Amino acid sequence: MQHEFEDYRKKRPPEEPTPWSQWQPEDPLRYLLVIVFFILGIPFLFGYIPTPFGTLWQLIIIDYWMYMRAQAKKIDIDRFD
């Protein structure tokens, strides 16, 4: 059974993603737990003691990775039809 119809409602303009420098995570507790796990948990599990410079780079990379994941989840698939 096919239910085809025309949607005459005005379409919302696509939202501009926030820049990485102004991004705020949706769930701050989860964000902090993931950061602590990746920066402290995994290195200590393997016997690695992170240096301040290495920790800073890890923080930047993990933060950018989480930003990209959050932006990918916000993509509206219907927008591409």
In this structure, is residue 7 part of a structural domain? no
Residue 59: band (very low, low, confident or very high) from pLDDT cuts 50, 70, 90? very high
Using 50, 70 and 90 to split pLDDT, how confident is the model at 3? Answer: low
Which pLDDT value is given to residue 15? 72
C-alpha distance from residue 65 to each of 3, 20, 45, 68 (Å)? 40, 10, 22, 5
Q: How many domains does the chain have?
A: 1
Distance of CA 3 to the CA centre of its chain: 35
Per the domain annotation, does 48 fall within a domain?
A: yes
Q: Is residue 2 assigned to a domain?
A: no
The least confident of 33-37, 46-50, 65-69 is 46-50
Tell me if 13 is assigned to some domain.
Answer: no
Q: Is residue 11 part of a domain?
A: no
What range does the domain containing 28 cover?
24-74
Look at residue 8 and tell me if it is in a domain. no
Residue 38: inside a domain:
yes
